[in-house]
Each structure stands twice: as structure tokens, then as C-alpha cells.
């Protein structure tokens, strides 16, 4: 009942319980009150957070917080800071990827290789395990990359991949200068990304669904909403 053997109340209570048969205990009003308070204190339901007060003391006044926040937002804006040279590729859906890049002329000398007004090329590599059906077809072999012309002044671009690239499960990219069919001078290489294999869930033409038993396919192929209202509906 009581873990602390040195507690005065606890010792007294134990002594009381030992000294007299339970049915004949006689306790005074102050003793009852004392026991009641002790039980309330020691065995009250525990909540993990403190009771709420209507006004929470802050280490700093609201106005001070606001002032510090505004100063930091003004002085350390992420929009005004230099980024390192890089090329980053991000997946959008089965047919689209997004690339952003930053070239530094002075520090790396990369842009010095560009001729005036020369456009850049974004080369998307699509090494892929082509499905058996595609291999057996008489279609010509798929290329390993696709080139997209981009203006030198741009720093990002969403790219629609050709349908032939739809079998690519992972893609990467390089940005550089393509001066001829055979000559590509890469300036930056990207990360590799995983591509979704199907842009829209449960399309009826999906060969996977066709392979299911009819019993399963009827629940899958009727389609789900294009998406749930993903993200938060409250916002």
C-alpha cells in the first residue's frame, strides 16, 4: 500500500491496521481526514500533463518573441542564400520527373565551358529491366537516355518522359552540353530516383490486375478515387 516505510502517515496507518481487528477500528475525524488526504495525494489518477492554467508564463514576452522571430526571418532568409552547385532529380509520377540545378561559374569553372547563349542539355538515363513482353516484341531496342534541351538561364524543369521509358524503375540524370550526336560534356550528375511503376492506381488495363482471379479483380479494377483528399482536410 505504501512504498515509503519512513512516511509518518504510512507508518501510522500500518500500525493502526496491525493493532486492531479491522471491524473494530475506531478513527477520529482528524485521522479519517488525514488518511483521506494521504490516499488522495498518493493514489490520485495520474495524468501525464500538468493541469492547465489559463495564462502560461513565458520566459520571454510575446512581443520579444515576435521581435526576435521577425529579425531572424529578415536577416536569415533562405531565399537570399547561395547554394552549392548541384543537380537534383525528383520523381513526380510514372511519366514525369523534376530536376533542379545550380551551376557556379566562378567557383567551379563549369559554366566557362559554355559558349555564349549555348543551351544546356538535361540527359535522363533510364537503365531498366524491360518486361518480357516488351523484349519479345519486334520493337526497336529502347535507348538508355533521353535528352531535353533547356535554356541556360533556367534552374529547374519538369520533364515528361517518353512512353518508352515507362518501364524504368530507377532513373538518374546529368546536365551538360551536347555539341553533337556523340559529344556530351556533363557538368553535373544527379542522384538516382525510384520511379512509380503505375501512375494511376488500378487502371483496368493493368496487366497485373488482368492476371488476378476474377474474384479479386472486381474489387481492384473498379478503381479507387484518384486519391484520397491527401494531406490534411483541415488546412
Partner 1 sequence: MTRHSMNHGYLSIVLHAHLPYVHHPEYEQFFEENWLFEAITECYLPLIAMLDRLQADAVDYRLTLSLSPTLLTMWRNPLLQSRYLQHLEKQLELAEKEVVRTRKQPDYLALAEMYRQLFHTALCTYRDHYQCDLVAAFVKHQQTGKLELITTAATHGFLPLLRVSEAAVRRQIKVGLETFSAITGLQASGFWLPECAYFPGLENVLQEFGVQYFFVDTHGIMDAGEFPEHAVYAPLDCGNGVAAFGRDPASSRQVWSAQEGYPGDADYREYYRDIGFDLDLEYVAPYILDGVTRINTGIKYHRVTGGEGPKALYQPETARMRVREHAEHFVSQRQAQIATLSAVMSTPPHIVAPYDAELFGHWWFEGPLWLEQVLRLCSQQPQGMRTLSCGDYLDLPLSRQVAQPAASSWGDQGYSSYWLNESNDWIYPLIHKAGAEFDKLVADLQGLSLSALQLRALNQAGRSLLLAQASDWPFILKSGTSVEYAKKRITDHLARFNYLHDAIRKNRINERYLSALEIMDDVFQDVDFRGG
Which residues ranging from 42 to 81 are in contact with partner 1 (CB under 8 A)?
Answer: 47-56, 58-60, 62-66, 68-69, 72-79, 81
Stretch that binds partner 1, among 6-14, 144-152, 174-182, 200-208 (CB under 8 A): 200-208
Q: How far apart are CA 131 and CA 142, in angstroms?
A: 12
Q: DSSP states of 74-95 as a string?
A: HHT-GGGS---SEEEEEEEETT
Torsion from C-alpha of 13, 14, 20, 24, nearest 10 degrees: 40
Using rule CB under 8 A, residue 220 touches partner 1: yes
* Contact letters for partner 1, residues 95-114 (x by CB under 8 A): -x-x-x-x------------
Closest approach of partner 1 to the CB of residue 183, in Å: 29
Helix (H/G/I), strand (E/B), else coil: 169: coil
Q: Which is nearer to partner 1, 4 or 200 (CB)?
A: 200
Residue 220, C-alpha cell as written in the block: 481492384
Q: Which is nearer to partner 1, 14 or 91 (CB)?
A: 91
DSSP letter at 50? Answer: P
Using rule CB under 8 A, residue 11 touches partner 1: no
Using rule CB under 8 A, residue 153 touches partner 1: no
Residue written as grid cell 526497336: 140
Amino acid at each position: 500500500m505504501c512504498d515509503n516505510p519512513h512516511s509518518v502517515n504510512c507508518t501510522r496507518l500500518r500500525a493502526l491496521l496491525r493493532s486492531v481487528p479491522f471491524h473494530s477500528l475506531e478513527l477520529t475525524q482528524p485521522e479519517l481526514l488525514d488518511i483521506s488526504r494521504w490516499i488522495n495525494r498518493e493514489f490520485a489518477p495520474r495524468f501525464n500533463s500538468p493541469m492547465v492554467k489559463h495564462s502560461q508564463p513565458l520566459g520571454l514576452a510575446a512581443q520579444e518573441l515576435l521581435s526576435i522571430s521577425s529579425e531572424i526571418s529578415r536577416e536569415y532568409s533562405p531565399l537570399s542564400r547561395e547554394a552549392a552547385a548541384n543537380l537534383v532529380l525528383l520523381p513526380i509520377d510514372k511519366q514525369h520527373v523534376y530536376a533542379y540545378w545550380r551551376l557556379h561559374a566562378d567557383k567551379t569553372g563549369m559554366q566557362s565551358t559554355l559558349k555564349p547563349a549555348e543551351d544546356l542539355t538535361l540527359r535522363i538515363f533510364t537503365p531498366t529491366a524491360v518486361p518480357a513482353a516488351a523484349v519479345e516484341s519486334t520493337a526497336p531496342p529502347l535507348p538508355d537516355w533521353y535528352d531535353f534541351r533547356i535554356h541556360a538561364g533556367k534552374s529547374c524543369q519538369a520533364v515528361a518522359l517518353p512512353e518508352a521509358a515507362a518501364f524504368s524503375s530507377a532513373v538518374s540524370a546529368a546536365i551538360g552540353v551536347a555539341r553533337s550526336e556523340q559529344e556530351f560534356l556533363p557538368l553535373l550528375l544527379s542522384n538516382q530516383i525510384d520511379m512509380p511503376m503505375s501512375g494511376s492506381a488500378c487502371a483496368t488495363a493493368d496487366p497485373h490486375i488482368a492476371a488476378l482471379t476474377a474474384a479479386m479483380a472486381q474489387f481492384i479494377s473498379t478503381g479507387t478515387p484518384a486519391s484520397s483528399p491527401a494531406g490534411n482536410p483541415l488546412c
